[in-house]
Amino acid sequence: MSAVVLVIGGSRGIGRAVVRLLASSGRRVAFTYRSDEAAARGLEAEFPGAVKSWRFDLADRPAPGTLVREVEAALGPIAGLVNNAAIRRDALLAATPDADWDAVIDANLGGPFRCCRAVLPLMISRRQGSIVNVSSLTAVRGVAGQAVYGAAKAGLIGLTKSLAREVGRRNVRVNAVVPGLVLTEMVADIPTEKIQALRAIEALPSGTLPEDIAGMITYLLSDGARAITGQAFLVDAGSTA
């Protein structure tokens, strides 16, 4: 039996590309979605028996524990976790209400924290596991209007590095992928002029596709990356070159 990977936020964009690549390579994949059940069912139908979805809300604090138990009962032991789901509430910091700060930090940093906490006892006891946290270029290169989102995603890199130190002796690896601008549903509301400004700093004319991020994530989950932990890999078409 192939190992199970749990992808948090897998019904669209980068997450969908991750699910497809993992399933195509023979992995069994559990993934979550928040609201688009039709998209989730469609992705399941592409890989009958190998892919299964669960409705999941990052803000539901007890949910990760229940999710992990259900996934293992349905598909088998979880060997990989991808924390990909996120929310954005862009605004200038001076105009950001406490409620938006709390929601973004809790979902984008608290959610991965709780998902890691839910799978780690099992990975540690089995002495096997790989966790990949999906950060953002905003964490390392500021974007006006995304101070809250950037703070959460920068915190995710910090969590990655310290957690890698905590669990490495148990053969559990923790890394982060830092995507540049990827034109997915999540950024559909960003004004065209801001998209053009972000594209202008890229060194490669092709930009970054969801499949490019999925390739890095899949590699970090694999045995080929067995000596890599505590790292944050930029996949940004050279934006930070």
First to last CA, the chain: 41
Instruction: Tell me the C-alpha distance between 111 and 114, whole Å.
Output: 5
**Is it the case that residue 102 has pLDDT exceeding 60?**
yes
pLDDT at position 2 is: 67
DSSP 106: I
CB atoms within 10 A of CB 32: 25
Looking at CATH, the fold of the domain delimited by 4-235 is given as Rossmann fold (3.40.50)
pLDDT at position 193 is: 86
pLDDT at position 217 is: 98
CB-neighbour burial class of residue 184 (10 A; exposed 0-12, middle 13-18, buried 19+) = middle
**Is it the case that residue 189 has pLDDT exceeding 90?**
no
> What is the per-residue pLDDT across 122-171, written as a single tens digit (0 to 9) for each?
999 999 999 999 999 999 998 899 999 999 999 999 999 999 999 999 99
Instruction: Tell me the C-alpha distance between 17 and 19, whole Å.
Output: 6
Q: Which DSSP helix (H) or strand (E) runs through 214? A: helix 210-221
* 28 and 50 Cβ atoms separated by less than 8 Å: yes
Burial 103-124 (b: 16+ CB within 10 A, else e): bbbbbbbbbbbbbbebbbebbb
- Please tell me which residue in 17, 149, 155, 160 is annotated as part of the active site: 149
pLDDT at position 106 is: 97
pLDDT at position 195 is: 87
Q: What percent of the chain has pLDDT over 90?
A: 91
pLDDT at position 133 is: 98
CA 35 to chain CA centroid, nearest Å: 17
Amino acid symbol at 78: I
- Mean pLDDT over 164-191 rounds to 92
pLDDT at position 185 is: 81
In angstroms and rounded to an integer, the radius of gyration of the C-alpha atoms of the chain is: 17
Q: Determine whether 219 is an active site residue.
A: no
**Is it the case that residue 222 has pLDDT exceeding 60?**
yes
Amino acid symbol at 129: G
- Mean pLDDT over 98-102 rounds to 98
Q: What percent of the chain has pLDDT over 70?
A: 99
> What is the per-residue pLDDT across 16-41, written as a single tens digit (0 to 9) for each?
999 999 999 999 999 999 999 999 99
